[in-house]
Amino acid sequence: MRISEVHIYQKDLQLKTPYTMAGTVLHTLDSTIVKLVCDNGLCGWGETCPVGPAYQPEHAAGARAALAQLAPAIIGESALTPLLLRRRLDANLNGHNQAKAAIDVALMDLIGKHHKMRVCDLLGGAISEKIPSYYALGIASPGDCAKQAREKTDQGFPRLQIKCGGRDIDEDIAVVHKVWEAVGNQVRLAVDANRSLTARDTLLLSLSCKQIPIVIEQPCNTMEEIASIRPQIHHPVYLDENTETINDVLRAISLGICDGFGLKLTRLGGLNAFTTVRDICAVRSLPHSCDDTHGGDIIAAACVHAGSTVEPKLLEGVWIGAPYYQQHYDPENSIQIKDGHINLPRAPGLGITPDENLIGNLSASFG
Ligand code: 0XW
Ligand code: MG
């Protein structure tokens, strides 16, 4: 089964309400979809959708440029040997994990369809058919965050992430206290600064919330800043944006600066890279999520397949963009959250079939 065509699409995902993180307000997400077609007619789908251009060093237009660069190198190659294909991608372009991840996901979709196996089984096997998710509360006032936290807890989410940063630290501290008053230990809580806090404000946050069992996620911009204050922080610390590669995960673990991770599938390079990190985390009993930065049903399906293979005690949940969007690519088998959990798709491969009228504009075709 050889790759005969590569098609790249650009899709604007309209958000129901603006998505806010420290210093960022987004109304639309720019998603990139990849369709690989093989000489036997099978199609595989991949997707990558950064949460705006400032979250990671890679951005949406860069992903499409990288995919256009890579496409000619994979035409004619076997779709059944993902490791060999990954080496070929690396030999043709340095970096650009998000673009390579879209190809990796499409390949795993193809391999699953070819062998009539689900992607979760190709990754080692699903532990459960119902995967816990979590919800990210955007930057808002203490009262609004507490109200939303109550609603999401009542909907069944086992974990909430509170966004903070980009404003006075006192307001963030007030938000954490109000949310805790509203939901107590009915849900697990993480507070995510998305790299925005100074070391000083991270210490103030941790000290002022000493009695509240939160995880502090990616407080500062660099691993070095986090390392400098780590012994004084009263809470578990997770890294997210700092884990741009598998080597970054190894570096963070060897520096002993974190207790877990917010992992992004496309940032690491796709499903195969994620399983490497999953297994490294298991060796050190480090909890982590299995998310992507944003994106529709394709990347959501990939995340839920991958998340289903993580040891339950280490899985901090699978975050997907579905609650924030109006539309789905596969309206019949869309990936959705119900009672704070996501059902694993049943069909082979990723288990979804995008409607080609719903995946945006063709940006380039090869083959
Ligand atoms: C909440 N997320 C998983 C989705 C957003 O893209 C950001 C991200 C995070 O934890 O930073
Ligand atoms: Mg995060």
Q: How far is the centre of ligand 2, averaged over its atoms, from the C-alpha of 357 (Å)?
A: 32
Residue in 16, 264, 313, 338 annotated catalytic:
264
Pocket test for ligand 1, best of 13, 15, 20, 21 (most atoms within 8 A of CB): 21
> Where does the chain hold its CATH 3.20.20.120 domain(s)?
122-343
Is 35 annotated as catalytic?
no
Strand partners of residue 37: 5, 43
Give pLDDT, residue 208. 98
- Ligand 1 touching residue 294 (CB < 6 A): yes
Q: For the domain bounded by 3-116+354-366, which CATH number is listed?
A: 3.30.390.10
> Where does the chain hold its CATH 3.30.390.10 domain(s)?
3-116+354-366
- Ligand 1 touching residue 135 (CB < 6 A): no
End-to-end CA distance of the chain: 15
How remote is the C-alpha of 82 from its chain's centroid? 21
- Ligand 1 touching residue 165 (CB < 6 A): no
Residue (of 42, 36, 34) closest to 11 by Cα position: 34
Q: How far is the centre of ligand 2, averaged over its atoms, from the C-alpha of 346 (Å)?
A: 29
CA distances from residue 115 to 86, 125, 205 in whole angstroms, order as listed = 20, 15, 50
- Ligand 1 touching residue 192 (CB < 6 A): yes
Tell me if residue 39 falls in helix, strand or coil: coil
Q: How far is the centre of ligand 2, averaged over its atoms, from the C-alpha of 121 (Å)?
A: 27
Low-confidence ranges of the chain (pLDDT < 50): none
pLDDT tens-digit readout, 13-61: 999 999 999 989 999 999 999 999 999 999 999 999 999 999 999 999 9
Give pLDDT, residue 248. 98
Measured between alpha carbons, how far is 256 from 202 in angstroms, rounded to an integer? 18
Measured between alpha carbons, how far is 161 from 223 in angstroms, rounded to an integer? 21
Tokens coding 33: 């979809």
Residue in 11, 35, 152, 163 annotated catalytic:
163
Share of the chain residues as helix, strand and coil, in percent rounded to the nearest 5: 40, 25, 35
Q: For the domain bounded by 122-343, which CATH number is listed?
A: 3.20.20.120
Give pLDDT, residue 253. 98
Tokens coding 124: 């080692």
pLDDT tens-digit readout, 321-331: 999 998 899 99
Residue whose CA lies nearest to ligand 1 atom number 7: 293
- Ligand 1 touching residue 293 (CB < 6 A): yes
Residue type (1 letter), 249:
V
Give pLDDT, residue 326. 86
Measured between alpha carbons, how far is 311 from 309 in angstroms, rounded to an integer? 7
